[in-house]
Chain A
Amino acid sequence: MARYGMVTDLRRCVGCHACTVACNAEWDVPAGQARTEVRATPIAGTFPALASSVFVSQCNQCDRPPCVNACPSGATRQTASGIVSVDKRVCIGCGFCVEACPYDARHLDRQTRQVDKCDFCLSRVERGQEPVCVATCTAHAKYFGDLEDRSSVVSRMVFENGARRIETGEVAVGPNVYYAGLPEQLDLVAATFPPRHPRMPASATVWRRAFKPLMLTAIGVAFAGQAVAFFTQLKNGEKDFED
């Protein structure tokens, strides 16, 4: 079984935005929103000793995706090949997954009011094509492939050439978009765009922490109460009404 991953080479990438425009055009993402984001670190240092790097990110199709954990309707799930997909027929637009994503890779589509995100162009991949961002990249900076196939380009970049994940000690959910580049460049990028802790909105937390235990207790008590009544009845020999 395949495990899809991507490698973005930040040494090559110039931040031209071809990927984000191509993705929007392919999937009808409204202008002003995007599944993939092109950013740059602020220029750091003092003139003329300066440093900056471009950074392109999208959904990382993580090994342990917090978004799948957060979805109450089951719309977000992970395929066997690792791609985290959103079933638009099921998504209710609650946005729990948006809060949960440590990389802020998901957004609520203004028009459909559902969640939208990169899915590695799953339907294209199933046809044997590349994701459109990879296909259009002017700098040939994006690579896509099977991380379980050791001969694939992405595998070689990850396992032989040291392409890195953007993780911290505290948030390590196993993102499958890796980054290649100069070590100092990757350090800068990892420091500037680290993943944050997954969050749940107040509503979900209130359910989990307060209401759910409360309701389960209530059900349990009701059930227990009835059990007591049942046994009391047996003991006292409550008769059928007719008797």
Chain B
Amino acid sequence: MKTDTIPLEPVPLSADQAEEMLQRQIKKHYLTSILLHWFNAFVWLFELLTGAALITSPYFRITPEWYLTIAQDVFGTRASMLRFHVAVGITWLVVFVVYGIFGFRAYLGWEVLQSKLFLDADDRRWLVVRTLRILGRSREPLPPQGIYNAGQKMFAQLVFAMTPVILVTGLIMAFRLFGAWAIGWAVVLHFVAVTSVVAGLMVHVYMGAVFPEEKPAFFSMITGTVNELFAYSHHFKWWRTVKQEEAEWEAAHNGQAHADGATP
């Protein structure tokens, strides 16, 4: 356990300290977030697979013939595949709207957005340094990051921006709204938004699932927790906030216990 003084910047740890922190888990994601993340992921995958299978004409096609055949065989007719695609898309929309309303403060409140979505100075520097390090051109340490690092934030921004585009253009196409000119552009923007996210997904999936150093991050999406050492080294500013909250909580409850005479 740390002393009352919580460092403002990451400092080197002793082996014992590191070991202790490794064993301790901090809650990073609550159940709702986890469920939403995987719901998002699977819906996304399903929509991507079925959507790609709907595009059959030579001008627009992006998948090989055998893929289209398999997809058609699975669903029977193109009409039924489209029905699924739209139904799942609308379900996705409804879920979004519901948690957008009920979870507004938790997910869309200004402070939440600031910490989880917007880039600060550290984030911007991190992006530069990280890229150079990947290219093997720097060994500079990375600036401290919040609960999500800059790369994760950028992906989140992409998804935040593109998801409404995908949903709105999807509705325009599914319900033939606003006339042919709008529907035509909806087709294009739908494809652009989807492929943008796919590009981002390349990085997100690699970083999340393949890159070994980020393994705790991946598992945190299942268990909801990361070990403290990971938090300290990769998301220092968030670790710091957690520590402060713990200290405050302890201070409030320790004082109380002494007053009552009960053991904390």
Contact = CB atoms under 8 A, between A and B. Distances in A.
A and B touch in the complex (CB under 8 A): yes
Interface of A: 68-77, 87, 89-90, 92-96, 98, 108, 113-114, 200-201, 203-204, 206-208, 211-212, 215-216, 218-219, 221-223, 225-226, 228-230, 232-233, 236, 238-242
B191 A211 contact: yes
Nearest to B72: A74
A204 B202 CA distance: 26
Given A72-B60, A74-B57, A93-B183, A241 B216 contact: yes
Given A113-B176, A215-B192, A232-B135, 4 more contacts: A203-B188, A204-B184, A215-B195, A219-B199
B134 interface: yes
Interface size class on chain B is 35 or more
Interface string B57-101: 111100000000000000000110011000000000000000000
Contacts of A226: 202-203, 206, 210
Nearest to B54: A74
B211 A233 contact: yes
A215 B162 CA distance: 14
B75 to A, nearest CB: 12
B251 interface: no
13 contacts: A68-B57, A71-B60, A73-B54, A89-B82, A90-B54, A92-B173, A95-B180, A204-B184, A218-B195, A233-B212, A238-B211, A241-B230, A242-B22
Tell me which of A114, A207, A239, A240 has the highest count of chain B C-beta atoms within 10 A of its own C-beta.
A207
Contacts of A75: 78
Contacts of B135: 228, 232
Contacts of B79: 87, 89-90
Given A73-B173, A90-B78, A232-B134, A207 B191 contact: yes
A229 B136 contact: no
Nearest to B185: A203
A215 B184 contact: no
Contacts of B179: 113
B59 A208 contact: yes
A102 B196 CA distance: 34
Interface string B224-246: 00000010000000000000000
A71 B123 CA distance: 43
A207 B62 CA distance: 13
Contacts of B184: 94-96, 201, 203-204
B187 A230 contact: no
Contacts of B211: 229-230, 233, 238
B188 A204 contact: yes
* A-B residue pairs, 6 tightest by C-beta: A95-B180, A215-B195, A89-B79, A222-B202, A74-B56, A203-B184
Contacts of B196: 215, 218
A52 to B, nearest CB: 34
B26 interface: no
A223 B199 CA distance: 8
B187 A241 contact: no
A17 to B, nearest CB: 27
Contacts of A223: 202
B215 interface: yes
A159 B192 CA distance: 48
